[in-house]
Amino acid sequence: MKYAEIILPILGGVYTYSSADEPTVGSVVSVPLGKKSAIGVVRRVFSEKPSFDVKPVGEVLYGGQLVTARQMELWDWLADYYMCTPGEVMRAALPTLLRKGDFVPYKRSQESRVKSQESATRKSLRHMSHQGLITHNSSLMTDKLEGFMDSFDTRFTGFVVPGGDKKISQAHVCRTVCRRAERRAVAAGAGAEVLQYLNRLSDWCFAVSTFFVSFAIRK
């Protein structure tokens, strides 16, 4: 018989359970908690029987270890540094669906990911071409971008966090790609018009993100 410390996403934090098999540290398991069940992460496994009665671990979820030993060390450090329980750290670290046991891992092949990225790139290029954002005249493209930015009614003056919505996150990813392209263009000795266009394109992506944020606020 083995015993395990299980981190639960509640105020108490760590609870002890028994297990006929030795669970893997970092694996996600379901355990009884009062009259209900809860989802927890195995923190430590030991053989010495506790001096109090313990309940058995339920089933192991998601096929085994999900939290690495290094991540577990980070959780302990965060709990110590911020003077909170490991359960509160777990609550902040793991996605809601995973903590509820409803998470279904979805694995795509590398080929599938590449095809998806290429399809998204072609779609973006077609859209930009249709809007007149891709021409052989860099100055004209820069002027069009500035015109688009001036037309945005964002009504938003706060700090934009790159997250919270898929469209906002995608706009920020596009912005970082533009910045990277700008740095590489500088290193390659590109002309001033090209650099100005890449700079404005990055600003345009940021403006798009603020537009999505203001739309979400109004909605």
**Same domain as 95, residue 13:** yes
CATH code for the domain in which residue 175 is found? 1.20.1200.10
- Domain that includes residue 28, residue range: 2-100
**Same domain as 93, residue 56:** yes
Question: Virtual CA dihedral for 173, 100, 86, 56, nearest 10 degrees?
Answer: -150
**Same domain as 49, residue 123:** no
Question: Virtual CA dihedral for 117, 118, 124, 129, nearest 10 degrees?
Answer: 170
**Same domain as 82, residue 57:** yes
**Same domain as 57, residue 35:** yes
**Same domain as 75, residue 22:** yes
Q: Of 87, 117, 133, which residue is a domain's last?
A: 133
Q: Which two tokens stand for residue 163?
A: 């997250």
Total domains in the chain come to 3
Buried b (16+ CB within 10 A) or exposed e, 10-34: eeebbbbbebeeebbbbbbbbbebe
Q: Which one-letter DSSP state was computed for residue 52?
A: S
Question: In this structure, how many other beta carbons lie within 10 angstroms of the beta carbon of residue 51?
Answer: 5
pLDDT in tens, 98-134: 666 544 444 555 566 566 656 665 665 566 556 555 5
pLDDT in tens, 145-175: 777 666 665 555 555 555 567 777 888 888 8
Its pTM stands at: 0.46
End-to-end CA distance of the chain: 55
CATH code for the domain in which residue 18 is found? 3.40.1440.60
Q: Is pLDDT at 206 greater than 70 in this prediction? A: yes
**Same domain as 181, residue 127:** no
